[in-house]
Structures are given as structure tokens and as C-alpha cells.
Chain A
């Protein structure tokens, strides 16, 4: 017996049947005892039969264990079941419009290995997977991440429209179409001078338009989160000419090379732009040999460059012409 109630139900049923059997037998017994000399067989026999019948019914209760009818063994997995009509539109992902000085990528893209920017769905399953109970499902991951800071906004039924468009999402966004580093094309040109501003060329109208699922990305640093440098690079001369005035001043800086003492402290979010090399590249292509550990007075590679290889250095750092 699995539950107390099952036991009670079964035993009560058997007990009642036995009691009824006893009552019939008792009446027969009484008749037999009280009527010595008279034959009461015609009355006793049916009583005895009925009594036995009830006793038999009681006995038949023994062979019926309760079995579960449906026992889904696997965790429930919803296959994109949108039974709920979408009440709200998609959320404005304002975080991607903020610069890294407001919020670092790692704040939301936490637990990403090697400091990469990983999309949430790489780890958070949709829906919640019970075999990894400490990881919320995708929807909760989104919301809880925002809630960590924006707790005040998440309070009561009206809170949803703080971020979500207040109308049903008629255009079903195919989630598989979302941006992800796995599908991000590699950057094929160095990010020098005016070419450091992605949006100079890659605009919604411009010569090289952004795909529709990039509409919330407005900061250059965000692009670099997914798009990595390619090992084969086009020469800048092959690229379209960028108007000088389109360079947003805050993004690019040709500040004097900064020699950083290997203090170990993580540098502030890069607000000064990539520094120029203090030496030509010739003979010193293996940047990390010195700059990886800060050997020989070389500036140490900052913490947010931790997974970058030698190929990518020249995307941003212009070599010096002097030796």
C-alpha cells in the first residue's frame, strides 16, 4: 500500500463485506439454534449461500493493487508549445544599447567560460530542465537577470509593460534566428582608424546592412562580444571609404600608448580605445610572448583580452612606424 488512504479504503471495504457476511450467517445461526425440532433448512440454506457470497466478495478484494495509469518517466519537455497567446510583445533589450561603462557584458552573460559572451540559451534550457535544478529555464533566466537590478520594476501585473511592448507579438520571432557567436561571421578587416566604428558602414540602410535580429545592438563593444577576428584580413584599401565625420569621437581614440604597470588590477572598461603599439610589428609577431606576462616592461594584456590570440591584436592596435 502506498498511501494510508488506500489502505483504509481497501480494509474498510473488506471489513464491511465480512460484516455483512457475518450478519447473514448470524441470522441463519439464530434460526438454527432457536428452532430445535423444526426443520429450518429451507431458510438457512439461502442465508448461508448469501453469507458465503459476501465472504467471497471480500476475498476478491485482495488481488487488486492500484497501478498508475500514466507514468511519464522523462521530465516534461515542452516543444515550443505556444498555447498561451502572446500577451505582450518582445522586450526592449536596453542592456545592449548601454555602453560597457554602464554595465559590463559579464554582468548578464555570467558563468560564460573564458570570459566569452555566450547567449543565454546555450546554458539555460527552454524550458527548465530538471536534471540541472540550479539553472533556471531560459525565460526565467532572462527575467531573473533583469530582476537582480530592476527589482522595483518587477512588481505586480503592470510591471510587464515596463519592458514588453503592450500588444501581442503577432510576428512570431523564430528563436533559432537569434544572434549567437556560433553563427556570427568573423570580422574580416582591421578595426583601425575610422573602421573601428562598425556603425559607420553596417547600418540598417548603409552599404553593409545589419540583419533584422540585430536591431537592439547599438554599441560597438557589443559587436565585439560575438564577432571575432578572422585570420585572413582584407586590406583597408579594399574597403569603402568612411567619411571622417561619421566617426563617433567617444569610440575611437588614438591616445598615446599607455604603459601599464603589471599591477594585477583589472583595468577599467576600455574608455580610451585601443592603444597604439610602441614598436613596429616586424619580428615581433608573437605579441603574447612578451605582453602575455608583461615581460621586459611590456604592457600586460588586460583581463578582458584573456581569450584573444595573436591574430586579433592587429585588428585594433596600429603598429608604430618607428622602432
Chain B
């Protein structure tokens, strides 16, 4: 037999605990939601106010000058110690298919035909060294980095080979050493970062006989490009590809024909790719802080319900046994 007084005290305590639990749960929930609201998701407009590092380098490819000699491919191949290609660099048959950068060729030149004049147009393809790179946003170990000097470089010492950067890149640029079991690397143009560090020009720019590729500060290259368009408006399409695409790229292009005709990805828009996952990532700390209180509160409420139910049934049993 239990002391009636103690029983009421116990149930009184039980009620107090459960009430306290309820209040605590609600307060914690409200507080965490408020905190999350104050922290909030930064407005999208902030992306536009990121100027990037001053004096960062870029490259300008003037496709009206390119003659398709592939000296740039040869130079890149030599400077990066890549294996010799199956067809030599002066073999024209490669132009029969449209190629893309591979693990053994960081840059390739493709040939197109101008529908109006029938003349060949050549286009060099390589990493565009985006200002806000999707690959750097994707990399979970920070192996892809946008350097302050401009190039987007790859660090093979931390890469785990997940290949998410290849999924993320809107230009389909990174390539992988699938045939290597022990040292597979993500391969792409690095704008000759080590050469730039020594004060040299990237190999392709140096090798180009007609200066279709110009190396320099991105801000200055934009001016040069605009000057060229202004001085010869009949020669160029009035667009610098890479000025704003996906938030801007460090590799800029000038062309004499609309860019879609040269297999440029013109439907990408101007949103920088890190923006695409930013909203979801903002959600994460919210869950980490709100869920404990939310779920804890639910547990306490269900616990209280069960306790109350058990207390009630034990009360009933006692009453019956006492009768």
C-alpha cells in the first residue's frame, strides 16, 4: 500500500517534470528557430558584390585568329610531360571528330565550318578557370582551388577520387585516369600555374604563332577584347564569352560567328555554381540546432503521455485491489 500523500506528491512531481519538459521543449524550439531566422540565408545579391582577387590573370582566345595549327596542343603536351598522342600534332585527320580534353590532352582544338563563308573556324577547348568554380564548390577535400592568381588548380595530394568535380563542371572539362589503379588523377588545364609563378607565360599562349591566345590580367583582357570588337565590329560577334557566364570565367573568348555554332554552352546562365547548393547548405545548421529540441520535445511529450497513462492504469489497479 502506498501512502496517499506520497502518491499525490509523486504524481504532482510527475506533472511538474512533464510540464517543465514541455515548456523547455517549446522554449528551446522557439529559440532555435528564432536564432536560425536571425542568421537567415544571405541574400543572393551578395554574389554580385564579390569582385574576385584584383590583378588576377586570365586568357583571351580570339577565334578569328586561330588557324588550327595545334601548336598550343603540342606546347601543352610538352610542358606537362604528357604522353605523345596517337596521331601527331600536324595530322589533320583529328578534325574529323569533335574532341574534348582528356587525361592525356589538357587542351584540344576542334574545327567547325562557318555556314556563311564555308571557311574553317577553329576553337580551342580547355578548362575555363571559372571565377566561382563548380569543381571547387563540389570538392569535399578542397583539392580544386581557385587561386588568387586566377588559375583553378588541382592538388593530387588530397584528392580521394570521388569524381564529383567531373559531375559538377558545366563545361565537361575534368578528365580522369581511369586506367590507373594506384595514382589516378583528375586532369585538366591548370593555366601553367607553375610557369606563371616563375613569371613565364602559359605554354599555349607562348606557342601560338598568330597570338590567338593572349595572356594577361583579366581586367585588361576584357578591355582588349572590347577594343577589338569596337575597332572591327564586322569581324567579331558582340559578345565576350566568359565575361558573365556562370559568374564569369578567367578564360575569355572572342568569335566571328555566334557562339552556339561552335558548341559553346550558351544556355548556362550567369549564376555562379556555388549559389546552387548554398540554400541547402544554409539549411544544415538549422537542422543541427533545431532538431535536437524538436525531437527531444516530441520524446518528452510522448514520454509524458505514457507516464500519465501508466500512472492512470496503476491508479486504477490500486483502486480495484483496494476495493
A and B touch in the complex (CB under 8 A): yes
Partner-B contacts on A (CB < 8 A): 1-5, 7-9, 12, 15-16, 18-20, 22-23, 26, 30, 33-34, 36, 66-78, 81, 83-85, 87, 127-128, 130, 133-134, 136-137, 139-140, 143-144, 147, 154-160
Asked if B196 lies at the interface with its beta carbon under 8 angstroms from chain A, I say yes
In the assembled complex, the CB of A85 is this many whole angstroms from the nearest CB of chain B, namely: 8
A144 to B91, CA, bound (A): 23
Tell me how far the C-beta of B269 lies from the nearest C-beta in chain A, rounded to whole angstroms. Answer: 15
The answer to whether B210 touches A144 (Cβ under 8 A) is: yes
| Contacts known (A33-B24, A154-B67); A140 close to B137, Cβ less than 8 A | no
Binding site for A on B (CB under 8 A): 17, 20-21, 24, 46-47, 50-53, 55, 65, 67-71, 74-75, 78-79, 89-92, 95, 111, 119-120, 131-133, 136-137, 142, 146-149, 196-197, 199-201, 203, 206-211, 214-217, 220, 223-224, 227, 247, 272, 274-275, 278, 281, 284-285, 288-289, 292-293, 296
Give the 9 A-B CB pairs with smallest separation, nearest first: A140-B211, A68-B148, A19-B288, A157-B90, A70-B197, A15-B285, A154-B67, A133-B224, A76-B201
| Closest CB in chain B relative to A40 CB, distance in Å | 15
Cα distance A143–B65 when bound, in Å? 10
Q: Which residues of A contact B20 (CB under 8 A)?
A: 33
Distance A77 CA – B205 CA, assembled complex (angstroms): 12
**7 residue pairs bridging A and B, Cβ less than 8 Å apart:** A2-B148, A3-B146, A5-B136, A71-B148, A72-B149, A139-B209, A156-B95
Provide the bound-state CA to CA distance between A36 and B18, in Å: 13
Which of B17, B53, B65, B136 is A2 in contact with, Cβ under 8 Å? B53
- Tell whether, in the assembled complex, residue A144 and residue B211 are in contact, meaning their CB atoms are under 8 Å apart: yes
Tell me the nearest residue of chain A to B212, going by C-beta: A140
CB distance from B90 to the nearest CB of A (A): 4
| Most chain B beta-carbon neighbours within 10 Å: one of A4, A7, A22, A76 | A4
Choose among B69, B214, B224 the residue that contacts A157 (Cβ–Cβ < 8 A). B69
Identity of the chain A residue whose Cβ is nearest the Cβ of B89 in the assembled complex: A157
Q: Can you name the residue of chain A whose Cβ is closest to the Cβ of B216? A: A130
With A36-B17, A85-B78, A128-B214 already in contact, 8 other A-B pairs whose C-beta atoms are closer than 8 Å: A3-B52, A3-B146, A81-B200, A133-B223, A139-B211, A140-B211, A143-B209, A156-B111
